[in-house]
Chain A
Amino acid sequence: SQTIHQWPATLVQPVGSPLSLECTVEGTSNPNLYWYRQAAGRGLQLLFYSVGIGQISSEVPQNLSASRPQDRQFILSSKKLLLSDSGFYLCAWTGGGGGEQFFGPGTRLTVL
């Protein structure tokens, strides 16, 4: 069966520091991968999606970037974090016969 991993689970970073969040998927090949952010008490905001290695589409202009160095690995990065980057970061992949999205456990980021 397919599983999706994210790490770290929680992260506290100072403003202006760099960021690297990692997501890996097991049990499937060539998945569509997504990064979402969920601010406290808010809905899901799509940040990036990828349909293959090296293929990244950005939904929202910001100080974040994404990369997909391997088929089942998706990385979210920033060179300098802002206070507004705080939130719950979720990685997801699309699978199943109905095009369903499945989410990883998430990374809770607090920028101080």
Chain B
Amino acid sequence: QKEVEQNSGPLSVPEGAIASLNCTYSDRGSQSFFWYRQYSGKSPELIMFIYSNGDKEDGRFTAQLNKASQYVSLLIRDSQPSDSATYLCAVVNYGQNFVFGPGTRLSVLP
């Protein structure tokens, strides 16, 4: 059973702080890693994806991947109240389907 684990939260951070969201996965053959944001009552929207070990930056978002530790994270710099949402981690092994984590609820306090 391939699993993706995330802390359900809620993770509360003050406005302007860095929010750090973590995800671990069980399938060592996983190759692609995705972060989605889901506002309450809405469908998930893709934030970014990462394939290689290290960091990948996109605006205020940075994804970090460590395949040896089977760990992927998402950093949100200068957090805003509009970032308050549930963040879903998804992991894919080549040719197989996405496996989603349960999501972490982030609350950015004004």
Contact = CB atoms under 8 A, between A and B. Distances in A.
Contact of B97 (A49, A90, A104): A49
Looking at chain A's contact residues, the main secondary structure is: strand
Contact of A103 (B45, B92, B102, B103): B45
Interface string B68-110: 0000000000000000000010101000011011110000000
A31 interface: no
Contact of B92 (A34, A49, A59, A99): A99
Please tell me the size bucket of the interface on A: 10 to 19
B61 interface: no
A61 interface: no
Contact of A100 (B49, B97, B100, B101): B49
Contact of A101 (B42, B90, B102): B90
Which size class do B's interface residues fall under? 10 to 19
Nearest to A49: B97
B43 A101 contact: no
Contacts of A101: 34, 46, 90, 98
B49 A103 contact: no
Given A99-B32, A102-B46, A43 B97 contact: no
B34 to A, nearest CB: 6
Contacts of A100: 34, 46, 49
A59 B97 contact: yes
Contacts of B88: 43-44
Nearest to A45: B100
B102 A43 contact: yes
A44 B41 CA distance: 14
B103 to A, nearest CB: 6
Interface of B: 32, 34, 41-46, 49, 51, 88, 90, 92, 97-98, 100-103
